Amino acid sequence: MKTILNFGSCCIDHVYQVPYFVAAGETLPGKHYAVFPGGKGLNQSIAIARAKGRVHHAGKIGQDGIGLRDQMLDAGVNLEQLLISETNTGHAVIQIASGGDNAIIIYGGTNREIQASETIKFFTNRAAGDLLLLQNEVSCNETAIRTAKDKGMMVSFNVAPMTQEVFDLPLDLIDYFIINEHEGRALAATDNLEDVPNRLIEQYPHCRVLLTLGEHGSWYKDATTEIKQAAFNVEMVDSTGAGDTFTGYFFAALQAGASTQYALTRASAAAALSVTQPGAATSIPFAEQVDDFLQNRQA
Ligand code: RIB
Distance, CA of 110 to CA of 259 (rounded, Å): 37
What share of the chain has pLDDT > 70, as a percent? Answer: 100
Q: Which domains does the chain have, with CATH numbers?
A: 4-298 (3.40.1190.20)
Region of residue 279 (left: phi > 0; alpha: psi -120 to 50; beta: else): left
Tens-place pLDDT, residues 136-162: 999 999 999 999 999 999 999 999 999
Region of residue 295 (left: phi > 0; alpha: psi -120 to 50; beta: else): alpha
Whole-structure pTM over 0.85, yes or no?
yes
Residue 180: predicted pLDDT? 97
pLDDT band, very low/low/confident/very high, at 37 (cuts 50, 70, 90)? very high
pLDDT band, very low/low/confident/very high, at 299 (cuts 50, 70, 90)? low
Residues ≥6 apart with Cβ < 8 Å to 196: 179, 184, 185, 187, 188, 190, 209, 211
Q: Mean pLDDT throughout 44-55?
A: 98
Altogether, the residues listed in the chain come to a count of 299
- Cα of 278 to ligand 1 centre, how many Å? 13
- The answer on pLDDT for 131 being more than 80 is yes
Distance, CA of 117 to CA of 48 (rounded, Å): 27
- Cα of 279 to ligand 1 centre, how many Å? 9
- Cα of 28 to ligand 1 centre, how many Å? 22
- The answer on pLDDT for 124 being more than 90 is yes
Asked if 237 and 100 count as a contact pair (C-beta separation under 8 A), the reply is yes
**pLDDT, mean over the chain:** 97
What share of the chain has pLDDT > 90, as a percent? Answer: 98
Residue 280 near ligand 1, beta carbon < 6 Å: yes
| CA-137 nearest atom, ligand 1 | 10
Q: Mean pLDDT throughout 278-284?
A: 95
| CA-240 nearest atom, ligand 1 | 2
pLDDT band, very low/low/confident/very high, at 1 (cuts 50, 70, 90)? confident
Q: How far are the Cα atoms of 36, 106, 194 from residue 92, in angstroms, in the given order?
A: 10, 4, 31
CA 153 to chain centre: 19
Per-residue burial over 174-200, b if 16 or more Cβ lie within 10 Å, else e, is: bbbbbbbeebbbbbbeeeebeebbebb
| CA-135 nearest atom, ligand 1 | 10
Q: Can the peptide bond before residue 161 be classed as cis, meaning omega within 30 degrees of 0?
A: yes
Residue 18: predicted pLDDT? 97
Residue 135: predicted pLDDT? 98
- Cα of 298 to ligand 1 centre, how many Å? 31
Q: Mean pLDDT throughout 5-10?
A: 98
Beta bridge partners of 35: 14
Residue 298: predicted pLDDT? 74
Distance, CA of 154 to CA of 83 (rounded, Å): 24
Residue 111 near ligand 1, beta carbon < 6 Å: no
